[in-house]
Amino acid sequence: MAYSEEDGTVEEKENNNKKKTKSALATAWLTFYNIAMTAGWLVLAMAMMRFYIQKGTRKGLYRSIARTLKFFQTFALVEVGHCAIGIVRTSVIVTGVQVCSRIFMVWFITNSIRQIQNEESVILFLVVWTITEITRYSYYTFNLLHHLPYFIKWARYNLFIVLYPLGVAGELLTIYAALPFVRRSGMYSMRLPNKYNVSFDYYYCLIIAMLSYIP
């Protein structure tokens, strides 16, 4: 079968059009996703401020925002998918570890142990997460729209210097506060003998988690 240069050009154009379509769809989805996540964390920020203004105390603040926090933090698992299918060029492993560590902090520590929910450290990491995520998702949104305000770019690369150590401190202090309750209750632990012949101690798991923060 004869194959002309013109045929090759047409095929190349079709492939380029398909790539452009996929790229446009990916950009549209990422823009929508980042707008939604920015809005979600803004809702959390306003809810926290409103609670504190009305109540004048941190007690009960976590419970008041728990459902919204769990939804948006868990929904961030989508970002692992973005990396896996290649629409975001970031390591799947790095993104997975970052997202899953947050989910672990929310679901398996703070949400599971009511006795620590009013700790100052919980409020600390919540405030840090909220500022970080509003900045991060708004940065991605404006970047995708090719209209990045200077103050958003500045905040993205400068607030990190202060927020990162504060966030780490809040998370570590929260895990530390959880240790006595975990040890007494034996939650999420498996003792021998059992039908699976497996032993697991959640208390030591949390200690290992704390050690993993060491650079």
**In a domain? residue 5:** no
Catalytically annotated residues: 164, 171
**In a domain? residue 9:** no
**In a domain? residue 55:** yes
Looking at the whole model, is its pTM more than 0.75?
yes
Model pLDDT for residues 150-159, shown as the tens digit of each residue: 999 999 999 9
Q: Residue 127: which of 174, 82, 195, 187 has the closest Cα?
A: 174
Residue 18 has pLDDT above 80, yes or no: no
- pLDDT mean across residues, the chain: 93
The SS3 of residue 63 is: helix
**In a domain? residue 3:** no
Question: Could you give the CA distance from residue 110 to residue 139 in angstroms, rounded to a whole number?
Answer: 28
- The two tokens of residue 203 are 């208390």
**In a domain? residue 198:** yes
pLDDT of residue 215: 79
Domain housing 112: 14-211
- Angle at alpha carbon of residue 86, lines to 83 and 88, rounded to 5°: 60
- The two tokens of residue 3 are 């194959």
Question: Could you give the CA distance from residue 43 to residue 106 in angstroms, rounded to a whole number?
Answer: 17
Size of the chain in residues: 215
pLDDT of residue 181: 98
**In a domain? residue 6:** no
Say if CB 110 and CB 120 are below 8 A apart. no
Q: Residue 178: which of 126, 116, 134 has the closest Cα?
A: 116
Domain count for the chain, please give it: 1
**In a domain? residue 21:** yes
- The residue-averaged pLDDT of 179-201 equals 94
**In a domain? residue 186:** yes
Model pLDDT for residues 76-121, shown as the tens digit of each residue: 999 999 999 999 999 999 999 999 999 999 999 999 999 999 999 9
- The residue-averaged pLDDT of 42-48 equals 98
